[in-house]
Homo-oligomer: A and B are copies of this chain.
Amino acid sequence: MSDKKIPKSVIERIPTYLDFLKQIDLNDNQTISSTSLAQALGLGEVQVRKDLNIIAGNGKPKIGYNMKDLINKIKSIIRSNEYTNVIVVGVGHIGQALANYQGFYEKGFIIKGLFDNNKDKIGKVINNNTIKSYEELGGFCINEKVDLAIIAVPLENAQNVCDDLIKYGVKGILNFTNCILNTEHDIKVRNIDIASMLTKLSIEINN
């Protein structure tokens, strides 16, 4: 990356910007101002201006930001000019839902493989993906250059799977278990712990 590091807080907002920009007709609107973006997304307008300056850095006074350019800049930050390969490890209820999830493709992700160690599941087809044996994980990750993996296995297997994925060169993990994954290498991990989300909501309601 030639550019400076993007602050964590800005990363959090980038998908929101991209989603919104994508849904606007580029023929009708060639530029957009930070003011209108801020209003539509419920953010501060100075914040949006600062974000866009970090992301694209070529707004024009009086005119705003060129939408096409903005979208391309964001896409290049995400590296989503091409599709990114993702695998799902663990095809339980959550794993199945993910395998069927329609939102990935339009955001530039393709589920390339499903893995499970349950013999009854191996070979079954979900949404055009055949469930593979866990033994095939290593070879697959290396051959297909898998960068991102989703862990949706039972809690007790999560750390093992995580260790394996790192070994096989995966660079980012989306973890659906509430296991605190131990990762020494510089791999990126994000956790989605659904029950904890409810817990946090519960606290906020009473806070």
Q: Which residues of B contact A128 (CB under 8 A)?
A: none
Q: Which residues of B contact A104 (CB under 8 A)?
A: 195, 198
In the complex, whether A194 has a CB less than 8 A from a CB of chain B is yes
Tell me the chain A residues, 1-43 only, with Cβ under 8 Å from chain B.
1, 5-6, 11-12, 14-16, 18-19, 41-42
Q: With A94-B97, A97-B96, A192-B194 in contact, is A16–B203 under 8 Å at CB?
A: no
The size bracket of the interface on A is 35 or more
In the complex, whether A178 has a CB less than 8 A from a CB of chain B is yes
In the complex, whether A62 has a CB less than 8 A from a CB of chain B is no
Within 8 Å by CB of A174, from B100, B107, B198, B203, lies B198
Copies in the complex: 2
Within 8 Å by CB of A200, from B41, B100, B190, B200, lies B190
Q: Which residues of B contact A196 (CB under 8 A)?
A: 15-16, 19, 107
Q: Which residues of B contact A202 (CB under 8 A)?
A: 78-80, 84, 108, 147-148, 172
Query: Residues on A close to B: CB < 8 A?
Result: 1, 5-6, 11-12, 14-16, 18-19, 41-42, 77-80, 84, 86, 93-94, 96-98, 100-101, 103-104, 107-109, 147-148, 171-174, 178, 180, 188, 190, 192-207
A-B contact pairs, 7 of them (CB 8 A): A79-B202, A96-B97, A107-B195, A108-B202, A148-B198, A172-B201, A174-B201
